[in-house]
A and B are shown apart, each in its own frame.
Chain A
Amino acid sequence: MTTVALLGNPNTGKTTLFNELTDKYAYVGNWTGVTVEKKVGQIRHSHTKVIDLPGVYSLNPITKDESVVTNYLLGHSPDLILNVTNASQLKRNLLLSVEVLELGVPVIITLNMIDDLKRTGHYYNLKTLSTELGCPVRTTNARNKEGLTELKADLVRDQSEIKPNLPLKLNYPLMVNQAIRQAATSLTKDYKVEPKFAHWLAIQYINNNKVVRKYATMHQLKPLLSQKAYYDAQKFDDQIFETRLSFIEKTLASATEQLQSTQHVAITSKIDKVVTHPIFGLPIFVGIFYLMFKLSFDWIGTPLSGYLDGFLSGPISSWANQFLTQAGALPMLRSLIVNGLIAGVGGVLVFIPQIFVLFACITILEDSGYMSRAALVTDRIMEMIGLNGKAFIPLIIGFGCNVTGIMAARTIEQPKERLITTLISPFMSCSARLPIYSLFVAALFPRHQALIVLSLYFLGIVVALFMAKFYHVIFKAKEHSVFIVELPQYHIPRLDIVWHGTWDKGKGFIKKAGTIIFAGTVLIWLLSNFGVRGYVTQIDQSFAANLGQILLPVFKPIGISTWQPISALLTGVLAKEVISSSMMVLFHTSNQTALIAMIGGSFTAISAYALLVFILLYIPCFATIGTIKSETGSAKWAAYSVISSLAISYTLAFLIFQIGSLLM
């Protein structure tokens, strides 16, 4: 088994390359130290395993996400490192390559997005690059599948066939070199560290790599620890940076070739002229999101969901009912399957079209390169609440799923800002909340569906921003935000990449339907069919009714007058999708149309909106609570999140219902 680690800067097309090289892959949980998912794939018809590492600018991490790479190199030794670079930004990409080459593990560098480079009128002599860097250099364009066959052939070799690389040796200034040599020698002699690794460790330690410094302290590597003050006082890290950069500039200068035809990359600039306009940038951003919601809820998603619902509640449901009757199944079992599972789980599955359209839109925004522009145009607003534009991206991803949104907050540099972003993420209206919105807007606001749903999303953002400002004041966050965002070239989204990304995000939803939503539906069916006297035929005597009625006085002030929604809300903590399937079971209906009629009968426009606001903001689902706990590393923040969101949601719903009732 050969292990290849994929390593490179962000925006180099690394993930696309990974997807093109491997045919199946899996997320494998937990690296040592931090909980993050690593992606491991296999190259077809081979024994080569490919590990996709997060994109990093250097091995000295600033964010939590970046430390994964350094930790991987400290703990594992891959057979080969494939260093993916962006050909048109080779200068800064090679800064990372140098660090990797110093390790002495076999490396192949690929100049990816080679087409973008050619369009700028430059090319590099690969032979010169290869000699100077001391490793094979290939060119690829993963988006058009160019150069992949050759690259694959390099990767599927047996461990024994991979040629070893000598570590790259740069001419660091005399003092630095001496310090590296001394430390490396005694590490090898006294601590039995492998010579090549000792050399690399010494450079990284001297270069003030935080993770390596922690590693040295943990392993009590005295030769390094004892010299720390000296290294820092001499500013060796600056000297190392300058040496590396001038080496790279010299290498690139000797390898650069001019191409005859120069056709400038004008498209990106043209789009940017409009999209990042100082004044129109923000309205355009809002417009793009409005379009996204229109597509998901009005134009494509909702009609498709309607067909799916017709199919599930019509033919499927009646066929199952007939079959079970004929087979002589107990009425109780029939009720569980038809009224419980098909109605409940099916009631959630019908939202697949809407959710997938939303995920496809998010993927297109990510893949095209617009996300970083969104960070840019929103930065000034985010600055006012003490965050930066980059925090907007996790929040937008949170529209899909709060869990992935919170995970995406790992790219935020300042720990306090990351904590704030994590805490406000659950207010982003995730896709799981959609089913219940759709039911209520169809019942009570049939003519303004998209507008009402958009207002909820907007309210979520407003509450999130308000809370962020509040936390910023409370935490007394004084340090300036780190906001540096790269604006990559635009790419025309490619269908298979978009599908890949959509499926990656959406499959969790389908999986949940089969597990937690299934379980939640069975639970609510049991609660609604059994009471203190055993199996009950009247739902009013069931446990669910008892529970709902006990809590009814608490929910009266926010406009809920029947017990069914209350019981449904309780199950919503399992997963928000369960709310609508629970409603289906509790109102004893088997299709959406009937349920919508029921809801229309027991709510007014104001009480419905108050309830929707409550659902938007109340307790995060189990998965989100768990993620908050693991990302903040404390159960206290998770508990705080539960309590604070409950308080906020109740207060807002109360205000809306009371004030709304006065006005109407």
Chain B
Amino acid sequence: MNHFMIKQFNGLDDATAQRLHSLGLQVGSSVQAVRFYPFHGPVIIQVDHQKIGIRYRVFKLLTGGKPL
């Protein structure tokens, strides 16, 4: 149900994009959103059996939202 596909890295700063790449994420990777924190706090996503915490803004961008 909480499955998303990574659509883009556009609009992210270089450091964030690079770090996400290093964690094995690329366009087309499927991610599962495990947990959302209140007040647009961080999001825990699961990719390739690993859990990563990212900011809500980054999550939105990755899954195809507009840059905030």
Contact = CB atoms under 8 A, between A and B. Distances in A.
Given A380-B41, A482-B13, A92 B23 contact: yes
Nearest to A486: B52
A485 B55 contact: no
Given A60-B18, A376-B53, A379-B53, A486 B23 contact: yes
Contact of B35 (A242, A278, A484, A486): A278
A3 B22 CA distance: 27
Contact of A379 (B41, B48, B49): B41
A312 to B, nearest CB: 47
Interface string A467-498: 00000000000011111111100000000000
B53 A483 contact: yes
A484 B24 contact: no
B16 A279 contact: no
B13, B19, B51 pick with most chain A CB within 10 angstroms? B51
A649 interface: no
Contact of A88 (B13, B21, B37, B49): B49
Interface string B32-61: 000111111110100011111111011000
B5 interface: no
A241 B24 CA distance: 10
A60 B15 CA distance: 10
B8 interface: no
A279 B48 contact: no
A255 to B, nearest CB: 15
Interface residues of A, number: 39
A388 B55 CA distance: 10
B39 to A, nearest CB: 6
B26 interface: yes
A379 B21 CA distance: 22
A487 B51 contact: yes
A375 interface: yes
B47 to A, nearest CB: 9
A413 interface: yes
B54 A276 contact: no
A644 interface: no
Interface residues of B, number: 30
A120 interface: yes
A389 interface: yes
A22 to B, nearest CB: 28
Given A57-B19, A89-B48, A485 B37 contact: no
Contact of B42 (A241, A279, A483): A483
A375 B53 contact: yes
Nearest to B50: A89
Contact of A483 (B21, B48, B54): B54
A512 interface: no
B23 A57 contact: yes
Contacts of B26: 241-242, 245
A602 B20 CA distance: 59
B41 A480 contact: no
B18 A58 contact: yes
B48 A380 contact: no
B38 A57 contact: no
A413 B15 contact: yes
Nearest to A373: B53
B49 A484 contact: no
A480 B19 contact: no
Given A278-B37, A379-B42, A95 B49 contact: no
Contacts of B58: 483-484
Contacts of A452: none
B16 A482 contact: yes
A372 interface: yes
A303 B36 CA distance: 43
A62 interface: yes
A91 interface: yes
Contact of A485 (B24, B36, B39, B52): B52
Contacts of A389: 42, 53
Interface string A380-421: 100100001100000000000000000000000110000000
A63 B38 CA distance: 29
A376 B58 CA distance: 15
Contacts of A60: 18
12 contacts: A58-B18, A62-B19, A89-B50, A276-B35, A278-B38, A375-B53, A380-B42, A388-B55, A479-B13, A482-B15, A483-B55, A484-B16
Given A278-B38, A480-B16, 9 more contacts: A241-B21, A276-B44, A379-B41, A379-B55, A413-B19, A482-B15, A483-B53, A484-B16, A486-B50
